[in-house]
Structure 1
Amino acid sequence: MMRKLRRVISRTYRRATVDLSHPARSPLGSTVVNCVVYEDGVRQPCDGDAQNALRQVRRSDGRGFVWFGLHEPTALELAVFAEMFGLHPLAVEDAALAQQRPGLQRYEPVRGQPHGDTLVAVFRTCRYIADPQSPSGGEVVDTGDLMVFIGSDFVLTVRHGGHGSLGPLRESLEARPEQLAKGPAAVLHAIADQIVDDYLAAADAVQHDVDEVETAVFSEQAGRHDAGRIYQLKRELLELKRSAGPLERPIRALATTPLAPAGPAMQPYFRDVVDHLTRLSEQLASFDALLDSILQAHLAQVTVAQNEDMRKITAWAAIVAVPTMVCGMYGMNFEHMPELRWTYGYPLVLTVMATACVTIHRSFRRNGWL
C-alpha cells in the first residue's frame, strides 16, 4: 500500500503543470486553509490566488513572503505546490504520507528554482485529552503531524490531524510585525515554540496525574487498578518522548549554525526553544523514574498484602485443625476408646477444644498474624 502511494505521488509530481491563476482549472480545494502575503512584517491585501500571491511577493525585492496553510492535502495538491516552490520530491512524499519522525532537513532547489535552499521541519503536535475508551475517565496524549517548508520568500505548512491549528499563532505574529519582518524563519521559530509549549502543557497535565496516582498508591484505599493507571501514564510519557525527543538535535542546530534560509538573526530565539526542550526532556525523565518507583512500591504493597492474607489463612487453619483432629479421633467408631461411657466426657472434650482454640488464637494475635 505504501509503495503504491509513493508511486502515485511521484507520478503526480512529474505531471503537475497546472495553471493556478485559473480558478476553474485549479486543483486546490478546501485543504488550503490560508494564503497570506506579508511585506515588512505587515499583512498585505491578497485575492487568495496562490500564483498571484507568489508573484506579488517576488515583486517586493525580498521584503516579503507568502504563507500557505494546508490541512490534509491530496497528492495532487502537494504536487502543485512542489512545482511552484521547487520542493524536493522526497519531502513532498513525506508530507503526503504523514506519520514521519520529527526532524529537520535541508534540500537544494530543484526544477530550476532560483531562490535558494528549502528547510523542511517535521513536528508532532499533541494535546492531553480524556480517553473516550477509558471507563475510569483517564487521559491520553493525542498527536498529529505538521510539516513546515520554508524558503527565502515562502512558508508552506502541511497539517494532519484534528488539532494543532495555526490560526491563533498567525494572529499573534501579525500583532508583532517587527518579528514577522525577520522573514519565514520567524514563522518557523513561532511554530516550534508553540509546539514545545504544547508539550510542556501536556507534561504539566501528566504531572498532575502522576501526583494523583502517587497519592492513591500510598493511601489506605489503594486498589488493584492502580497498576493499570501507572502503565497508562508510562505509555503517555513514551508518546511525549517520541514527539519531543527527536526535536532537540535539529532545533539545537538552528540555534548554533546558520542554516539558510533561517539565517543567524533567529539563532537566539531558537536557543530559547532549546532551553524549553531541555527542561521538557528532564521533566519527562523524572516522571518516568518516579512512575517506576511508584510501580515498584505498588507491587511491594500487593506482595505484602498477599503475605498478610496468607498468614491470616494459615492462622485460622491452625485454629480449626485442633477441633478437627479431636473430632476425627472420636469419629473412628472403635469400641474401646477413653471416656466413651463417662457422663462428662462430651463436655470435657468441648472444653478442651475451646481452650486450645482460644489459646492458639491469642498467640497468633500477640504475634501479629491476626
Structure 2
Amino acid sequence: MECVIYGEGTDRVRQVDCGEPAGAGRTVSKHLRELDEGEFAWVRLDSPTERELADLTEEMGLHPLAVEDAVQAHESPKGERYGDVLAVALRTLWYIESASEVETGEVMVFLGPRFALTVRHGWADPTTEAARRLAADPERSSFGPAAVLHAVLDVVVDSYTDAAAKVRTDLTDLERCVFSSSRDDVTEQIYTLKREVLEFRDAVRPLVPVVREFVTGSRSLWPHDALPYFRDVVDHLHRADAEVRSLDELLNSVLDAHLARVGTWQNDDMRRISAWAAIFAVPTVFTGLYGMNFRHMPELHWSFGYPLAVGVMVTASALLYRSFRRNGWL
C-alpha cells in the first residue's frame, strides 16, 4: 500500500506511512482529517483481499458492492456513483508480441471529496506511470482527486494505442503470408489473433460511453479546467476504439481471403489429379483391352502391332498433356 498527499504546487507532494493494508483504515482516516485546504490523498493498493479492504471500506465510505467488484476484478469497464464516491472500473491490457496474446488486468478507481483510491490487479501497473505524470505536472493537482482519474485513464488509453499498433504489425505479417506464393496454412494464427482482438475490443468499447459521460454529463464532478484534459482522453480513446474496429474488420477480410486461397489450392490440386488421371487412362484402356487374352483380337500376330499400340498410347498421352498444360491444369 502507498499513500501520497497532493497539494497545489511543486513542493506539495509528500508520501506518508499508511501501515499494513489490514489495519490501514484508521491511519488513512487520520491523514484525511489532517489534510490542509486544497490537498487530497491518493491511496494505491495492489491485488488486495477483501479483508485488507475492510477497514478502508468503513473509513472512506466505500459501498460494499463497489468493494466486491474491486476485489473480484472481473468487471467490465463502467462508472458508478455511490453517494459522494465515484467508482470507475478500467481494463488494463498489454500485448505479448512473442505469443501474439493480449493479457488483461483491472484497475478500480474510487474518487471521494478529498481522496482517490486505486485497486490494481494484473501484471500491468498504470498507477506508477500515472503518479509519475502527475508529479511532472503539479498544476493538475489543483483538479483534486479527478487528477488521479485523468492520469490513470491517460496511461490506460495510451497502452491501448500501443497495443493496437503491435496487433496491426502482426496483422500485416499475416497479410503477407496469406498473399505470398507459399502455401502456408495460417488459419490457426488468424483465429488466435482474432480472439485476442475480441478481448481487446471488450476492454475498449464499454469504456467509451463511460469516459464520454465525464465530459458530457454532470460537470460538477470536477473543476471546469479539468474538462479539456478529459476531452483529450476521449479523443484518444475514440481513436483506439476505431483502430480496434478496423483490426477486427481486417481480420475478417484476411480470414475470408485465406479461406478463398485454400479453396483455390484445393481446386488446383483436384485439376492436376484429374489431368494426370485422364492421361493415364489412355494406356490403361489399351492395356486393359489387350490384357483380356481373347484368341481372336486384331493385330495379335502382326509384327508391328506392339510398337503401334505403344506409339498410339504415347502420342495420345502427349497430346492430352499438352492440352492440359495449355489450359493451366498442369
Higher alpha-carbon deviation: 302-311 or 198-207: 302-311
Within the alignment, does 1:199 sit opposite 2:160 as a pair? Answer: yes
Q: CA deviation at 1:260?
A: 4.9
Instruction: Give the equivalent residue in structure 1 for 2:197.
Output: 237
Within the alignment, does 1:310 sit opposite 2:270 as a pair? Answer: yes
Q: CA deviation at 1:259?
A: 5.1
Instruction: Give the equivalent residue in structure 2 for 1:4.
Output: none
Instruction: Give the equivalent residue in structure 2 for 1:91.
Output: 66
Instruction: Give the equivalent residue in structure 1 for 2:116.
Output: 155
Q: CA deviation at 1:65?
A: 1.1
Equivalent of 2:13 in 43, 48, 72: 43
Q: CA deviation at 1:331?
A: 0.7
SS in 1 for 2:143: coil
Cα deviation code 1:337-363 (max 9, x no counterpart): 111111221111111111111111111
Within the alignment, does 1:72 sit opposite 2:38 as a pair? Answer: no
Q: CA deviation at 1:172?
A: 2.2
CA–CA distance in structure 2, aligned partners of residues 320 and 47 of structure 1: 88
CA–CA distance in structure 1, aligned partners of residues 126 and 242 of structure 2: 27
CA contact (8 A) 2:76 2:89 kept: yes
User: Judging changes above 3 Å, is the alpha-carbon distance between structure 1 residues 196 and 222 closer, same or farther for their aligned structure 2 residues?
Assistant: farther
Overall identity of the aligned pairs, in %: 47
Within the alignment, does 1:107 sit opposite 2:74 as a pair? Answer: no
Equivalent of 1:122 in 82, 89, 102: 89
Q: CA deviation at 1:277?
A: 1.2
Within the alignment, does 1:59 sit opposite 2:31 as a pair? Answer: no
CA–CA distance in structure 1, aligned partners of residues 90 and 217 of structure 2: 20
CA–CA distance in structure 2, aligned partners of residues 158 and 47 of structure 1: 18
Unaligned runs of 5+ in 2: none
CA–CA distance in structure 1, aligned partners of residues 59 and 225 of structure 2: 27
CA–CA distance in structure 2, aligned partners of residues 240 and 142 of structure 1: 9
How do 1:1-370 residues align onto structure 2 when only pairs under 5 Å count?
A: 32=1, 34-40=2-8, 42-44=12-14, 46-49=16-19, 50=24, 51-108=26-83, 117-130=84-97, 137-224=98-185, 226-258=186-218, 260-370=220-330
CA contact (8 A) 1:35 1:66 kept: yes
User: Judging changes above 3 Å, is the alpha-carbon distance between structure 1 residues 69 and 101 closer, same or farther for their aligned structure 2 residues?
Assistant: same
Q: CA deviation at 1:95?
A: 1.0
Runs of 4+ in structure 1 over 6 Å off? none
Higher alpha-carbon deviation: 260-269 or 119-128: 260-269
Q: Which amino acid aligns with 2:326?
A: R
TM-score (norm 1): 0.83
SS in 1 for 2:118: strand
Q: Which amino acid aligns with 1:310?
A: M
Unaligned runs of 5+ in 1: 1-31, 109-116, 131-136
The number of residues matched between the two structures is 323
CA contact (8 A) 1:256 1:267 kept: no
CA–CA distance in structure 1, aligned partners of residues 112 and 220 of structure 2: 8
CA–CA distance in structure 1, aligned partners of residues 301 and 14 of structure 2: 117
Cα RMSD (Å) of the superposition? 1.6
User: Judging changes above 3 Å, is the alpha-carbon distance between structure 1 residues 212 and 127 closer, same or farther for their aligned structure 2 residues?
Assistant: same
